[in-house]
Structure 1
């Protein structure tokens, strides 16, 4: 299966082939700052399964991740692992924004106080096992 998506202005388009390794919502402080949102809802794919067209830019947000975004409109699209083969793809950037449903919340120890998690999904204080 191939799922497609892109940025707000349309300058960047991507395709993800196959199924994601997992689909999670991260509440860590780095994701909050990087996304400008209370959390980062993402599908984790092998980097080799992702094809990107258009000009992107990267910001090294930690020793582990580059945040990848559209150069033109700034839409945040990926959390690209520097060492390894995985990348988190923003769920809202897919053309079918309901294509994937999260299965867990991670880093809830850093979630914003007013965020209520009543969806019944597992919650992990830090990373999921």
Structure 2
């Protein structure tokens, strides 16, 4: 797969990055540290060499353990990744990329903490945000349109 320059950032736009991405491989981390840091049952990460990305603005950093730290936006709270204090790589959260659909999960990490009920949810009912009348009405009243 050819390398592609991809951009991303936080929810409010205060933190932005760009990275050269050479594969669509990503992984899901289920470890308890990531669960607590993100408030989610798992987090999707893209692992890449630190030399293949650069921060255009921000981020702030949280020392999440004696061996690692996590980039985030202090303004809006978006979790942006994970980085060991030692080593050439870092992980960026898949959802922080402007085009996250490129990435495909290839493995699970922290399998001892997987919440199996959240892995395969295909059979659950689905509802689109743009078809939820009360939500659409709130967005239209507040901003004049529904966000992407």
TM-score class, shorter-chain normalisation, is 0.7 to 0.9
Ranges in structure 1 where 5+ consecutive residues have no aligned partner: 120-129
Contact 2:16–2:58 under 8 Å retained in 1: no
Structure 1 vs Structure 2 CA RMSD: 1.9
Name which of structure 1's ranges 19-28 and 80-89 shifts more when overlaid on structure 2.
Answer: 19-28
State the distance in 2 between where 1:84 and 1:108 align.
23
Alignment counterpart, residue 55 of structure 1, candidates 55, 58, 68: 58
What SS does the aligned partner of 2:51 have? helix
Match of 2:100 in 1: 97
Match of 1:36 in 2: 39
What SS does the aligned partner of 2:17 have? strand
- Bigger radius of gyration: 2
Task: Number of aligned residue pairs: give it.
Answer: 119
User: TM-score when scaled to structure 1?
Assistant: 0.83
Match of 1:111 in 2: 114
Q: Greater helix percent: which structure?
A: 2
Change (3 A) 1:59 1:21: farther
Match of 2:126 in 1: none
State the distance in 1 between where 2:22 and 2:121 align.
26
- Displacement over 4 Å in runs of 4+: none
Change (3 A) 1:61 1:20: farther
State the distance in 2 between where 1:13 and 1:79 align.
16
Match of 2:133 in 1: none
Alignment counterpart, residue 46 of structure 1, candidates 42, 49, 68: 49
CA deviation profile, 1:16-49 (whole Å, cap 9, x unmatched): 1132595110100001011111111000010111
CA deviation profile, 1:77-113 (whole Å, cap 9, x unmatched): 0201210111101000110121211101111211125
